Structure formats: structure tokens, C-alpha cells
Amino acid sequence: MRLTDEQRAVIESDNQVSIINAVAGSGKTTTLIEYAACRPRERILYLAYNRSAAAELKERLLARNLKHVAVSTMHGLAYRYTGSHSLKLEGDISEWRLLDQYVPAAERATEHATLYAWLLKDLLNFYLNSDIRALDDSLLRAHMTITAPSDQAGALIERHGEEMLAILRNILADMRAGRTPAIHDFYLKLFQFVPARLPYDLVMVDEAQDVSPVMLAIVRRQSHLRQIFVGDSFQQIYGFRFAIDSLGAIEGNRYWLTQTFRFGDKLARHLSAQINNAYEILDETISLQIRGTEQDTRFGKQVRKQQSHKTVIARSNLSLFESVIEHITRNARNLYFEGGHPGYGFLNSRVVGLYYLKEGQAAKINDPFIQRFPSFDEVKRFAQDAQSQALSLAWDLVQRHGSRLFEFDRSIKERLVAKQYAQAVFTTTHKAKGQEYEDVEMVQDDFTTREDLARLYNSGKSDLNPARLKEEINIYYVAATRAKNSIRLADF
């Protein structure tokens, strides 16, 4: 591969801290591999975003015989250094278990008991992902500032904040002692308190625009290491998991990779103009600079809808589901879901529980959380108070499709094939991140438009969160930069 001048500037640098902002498809991983190849005597640690990215990188390094580069995820590193092999682990802590085991008995009998448990879970996840060490009022203030909770949730925290902090201490102590299962972010937080000196000369942090503050604190503490942070600030889309853009949060020598190798220059210029205009609406001075290739990547509504061999990208699970149903009614066969069909939760236990709640068949509800609600409408009110997008989407799915969900689920499963045999690939923007496809169709009326942004930004609402509006711009950008040959862009 012929390197650009921008890539060579990175490879030839030897700074204590380097910050590389790389646009979609600009070959950032290739750049870091070449950087490592030029330094065979250095011990290098490459921190990949997830296990699949780590596995792919290991294969590429093996092909180049770069044995001096170790690859890990941040969680994998924390697991080893904290000796967490003895912990009982689970993927997520359930609200119903918090309600049964930790919410005070006096609160369990109140109408806000479920919201209390939900807030405990949110505070726990916020603390584990933050760089805050102490469980005190500073945690509550930071949580309120960053999450901008609803009036009901905020009032509950104001009244019971100290009590909630005491409960969090108990939960963490129980996780450490094995009295209750720990979640994976627990041992990541433990790593923040371990005075380990990593035995490397250089650490590379990939996808640095979406790291949690605790991850950044762990890396920055290793001051004896040279540090390279690489990512794309315009692809920061995990704020709902309390991720931050470390590329803008730290000081160092800055580099830009503005040449994409994925799509043509006309599309690159079109997207630059749209994204920059959207940021101007929010009074942001950040500017996207992206140059494309000489290839002709067709885009816009002039691209004809294809019946097969395409990838459909949606903003939400609900819109993706409806797009799948639309394709099935047009006799689409051989379907694949990026990351696997089960991960989309079209008919998981929570959705099924909501259906039976709506139908007044409480005895059939297996989800302990949904069992707590007296009515279907009460779930909607709760989702609004808790600002739970996932629960709102599940509610909307049941409200819109009802018993047809079971028939649709069977139809989808009958058509599932391996990715290489699929006539149509379906994915949300978040699951499409890091992927590229030949031909893409963005689901219409599912992405936030610039008109929406202007209306929301100028609404004057006290609970307005500009960071969430910026993330909506980035979600559009991620979806719009996945295609190589053609893309039907959603309105923006």
C-alpha cells in the first residue's frame, strides 16, 4: 500500500503523546502497523476496542511477523492485572435484583421503587466508567451534569442521594466478595486502583474517540510509556455508555489523516459540507476535512433501490425491524444481521413480557422487571422518566406490531444465512461502526436532520443536552461513510 504524506508524518514521529484524528476509511490501523514495523526493538501494546477487532489485528500482525506487538482490549488487560479470574461475572446487572436485594424496604412499597432501582443501576454504571475515585457527593453532581436526568429522576436523587451512595458501596463490596455477580466494568474500575507499571515502551489506543474516562485515566497513569491515541472525533457515538472523546481531552502532538480510501471524492465533499453545516447549527467550530478517491461512488436518491446484495443501515432497532419486514413482504430471502440476529432483541424476553402485559396476560410474563408494572402504559411513563431509549423502543415495537411480532420473528429466522450468502445485510449504525460495504441504503426518516437539530437547539428547553445533538450528527456521519460503490443517503 502506498502511504500518504499524512501517514508518513505519523510513522516518522516519536512524541511522548501523539493524537491522530483519522477520518472513516483512512487506513488508521495500517498506519499503526507500519509505525510498529519501523520499531522492531520496542515493546508495543495495542489496545483494541473490542475482542473481534483484537482478533483481526492479531492476524494482520502475524502476517507481518510483528511479534513485538501485544494486542489486548482494555477489559482483557484489567482482568489479568486485577486477578479477577475468581469473580462471579455476568454481562449486566438486572434492575429487579437491585430492587429485591438493595432498595430499602420502605422504598420498595412506593410508586417510584422501580425508578429507584433503575437509578441505582445508572449510578453504578456511571461510577464504574468514570475516573472518579470517591463514592461521595462529587459522583452525584457529575452524574446529574452529564446525564441531565428527568425531573422525576433528578428529584429522587436529590432526596435519596446519600442513601444511594451507601447502597453502591454495599453492591461493590458484594461484587468483590463474590456475594453477588460482578459486571465486567467492575474489574476495569478495580484496575484504576492497581499501581501496575506496564512492561512496554509504547501503548496505542484505538477508537480513542469513544473511551470511558476510567480507561483514559488508566492509560494516562502509565506516564513512562509513549502514548498514541487514534480515532475519529466525528465517530463518537457511545456517549450513552458514558464514553468521551479523549482526542480532544488530552494534550499532545496532533496529526490528521484526511484521505479516505473507501469512497469517491464527490461523496467526501458532499458529506463534509453537510456535517460542517450541522455543526455550525450548534455553534460548533469543529470542521470535518475529508478527501476521497478518484472512484465514482454513487450517492443520493438518484441511486436506485436494490432488491438484493445491499446493506440496510438504520438509526434505531425499531426502524430496522420495520425495514426487514418491508423486505420480507417483497419476498426478500437470505438475510444476515451484522453482529448476529439475537443481538437486536426484536423478540427478547423483555419484548415478549411487554406484549403479555399489553394483552393483560400477566401470568405469562417471565421478565422480572416487566412483572413489576401494573399496566402497559405505566412502562411508557417509566421509560420517559428514566430516559431509557431501549425500553421506549421495545414499548413502541409492541405497540405498533402486537401479536404480529411472533409471525415476523419466525419469518426472519427462516431466512437467516451466513453473511457471505446474504442478499441483504441489516444493521444499526452502532453495529456498522468499523465495517464497510459495497452498496448501502440508509433507512429514510430515521436519522436526525439538520432541521431537527435547529429546532431542538433553539427550543430553549432547560434539559437540552448539546452533546446528544452532536452525537446525532456523528451517527449520521458513521452511517453515511460505510459504502464503497453506492449509497442511498437518508435526508439530512
Concatenate the DSSP letters of all residues of 167-187 into one string.
HHHHHHHHHHHTSSPEEHHHH
Question: Residues comprising the binding site for ATP?
Answer: 22-29
* Numbered residues of the known binding site: 22-29
**Which secondary structure element, helix H or strand E, spans residue 164, and what is its range?**
helix 151-177
Mean pLDDT of 46-51: 94
Distance CA(486)–CA(466), nearest Å, equals 32
Does the structure show a pLDDT above 70 at 307?
A: no
Task: Count CA within 13 A, CB hemisphere, residue 387.
Answer: 15
Indicate if the pLDDT at residue 306 is higher than 80. Answer: no
Q: Under a CB-based contact definition with an 8 Å cutoff, are residues 31 and 257 in contact?
A: yes
Q: Which of 165-174, 307-316, 458-467 has the lowest mean pLDDT?
A: 458-467
Question: Among 184, 195, 167, which residue's Cα sits nearest to residue 88?
Answer: 184
Tell me which residue of 389, 482, 400, 492 sits closest to 441, measured CA to CA.
482
Q: Which of 18-27, 88-97, 212-221 has the lowest mean pLDDT?
A: 88-97
Handedness of CA 135, 129, 340, 440 (dihedral sign): positive
Query: Confidence class of residue 462 from pLDDT cuts 50, 70 and 90?
Result: low
Q: Is the dihedral of CA 269, 312, 338, 59 positive or negative?
A: negative
Q: Would you say residue 95 has pLDDT above 90?
A: no
- Which residues are paired to 245 by β-bridges? none
Q: One-letter amino acid identity for 310?
A: K
pTM for the full predicted model: 0.92
CA gap 434, 446 in Å, rounded: 21
Tell me the C-alpha to C-alpha distance, in Å, between residue 451 and each of 28, 288, 300, 358, 440: 33, 20, 18, 35, 24
Q: Is the pLDDT of residue 2 over 90?
A: no
pLDDT of the residue at 331: 86
Are 311 and 440 spatial neighbours (Cβ–Cβ below 8 Å)? yes
- Cα distance from N-terminal residue to C-terminal residue, the chain: 34
pLDDT in tens, 177-231: 999 999 999 999 999 999 999 999 999 999 999 999 999 999 999 999 999 999 9
